[in-house]
């Protein structure tokens, strides 16, 4: 089965989202690409529709752009 | 184990994202709340930090706001 791909660039917000996603999606269903370290894959990500990171490219070819929200509790 | 919660309101963009997410995360690790049908849970979602939908509240209490991107292929 085709895997989902989580694209990120190593920023703290990306790493937080990455960990949350990897906690939820089984390892064998997702791969992670660090676009800062694998710059050759930036064009691939763009072709897939990735406009911002972190983003999750699903096996169906759709891109879920993720905004890592701030909890209200964290604002207090 | 605490489940993730996917919040949506039945809009097409929400339903697409929901299906993608449910395809990736095992059923026993996620629940779905339709805020249009369960308006009593809107306050709960807000307290959790949900600012827009669709959004995924992780078991750790973080909110991933999801923007369902458009594929380049779909623009042609």
DSSP per position, chain B:
-PPEEEEE-S-HHHHHHHHHHHHHS-GGGEEEEETTT-GGGHHHHHHHT--SSSEEE-TTS-EEEEEEPPPHHHH-
Closest-CA residue to A30 (of A68, A1, A67): A1
pLDDT digits (tens, 9 = 90+) for A22-35: 999 999 999 999 99
Q: Show residues of chain A in contact with B15, CB under 8 Å.
A: none
Closest-CA residue to B65 (of B54, B75, B76): B54
Q: Would you list the domain boundaries of chain A? A: 4-75
pLDDT cut 70: percent of chain A above it: 88
B65–A70 CB contact, under 8 Å: no
The model's confidence at residue B52, banded by pLDDT at 50, 70 and 90, is confident
The model's confidence at residue B61, banded by pLDDT at 50, 70 and 90, is very high
Considering the entire predicted model, what is its pTM?
Answer: 0.84
Q: For residues B29 and B56, what is the distance between their CA atoms, to the nearest angstrom? A: 12
Higher-confidence residue of A72 and A22: namely: A22
B59–A17 CB contact, under 8 Å: no
Give the number of C-alpha atoms closer than 13 A to the C-alpha of residue B54, restricted to the C-beta side. Answer: 27
The model's confidence at residue A69, banded by pLDDT at 50, 70 and 90, is low
B24–A16 CB contact, under 8 Å: no
Choose the mutation target among A60, A67, A68, A76 for the interface with B, i.e. most B CBs under 10 Å.
A67
CB pairs under 8 A between A and B: 93
pLDDT cut 70: percent of chain B above it: 88
Question: What is the architecture of the domain spanning A4-75?
Answer: 3-Layer(aba) Sandwich (3.40)
What per-residue confidence (pLDDT) applies to B69? Answer: 56
Tell me: ipTM over 0.95. Answer: no
Here the tokens at position A3 are: 């895997």
The model's confidence at residue B14, banded by pLDDT at 50, 70 and 90, is confident
């Amino acid at each position: 089965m085709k895997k989902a791909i989580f694209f990120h660039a190593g920023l703290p917000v990306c790493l937080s989202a990455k960990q949350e996603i990897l906690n939820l999606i089984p390892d064998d269903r997702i791969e992670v690409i660090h676009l800062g370290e694998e710059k050759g894959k930036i064009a691939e990500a763009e072709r897939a529709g990735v406009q911002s990171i972190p983003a999750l490219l699903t096996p169906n070819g759709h891109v879920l752009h993720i905004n890592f929200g701030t909890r209200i509790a964290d604002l207090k």
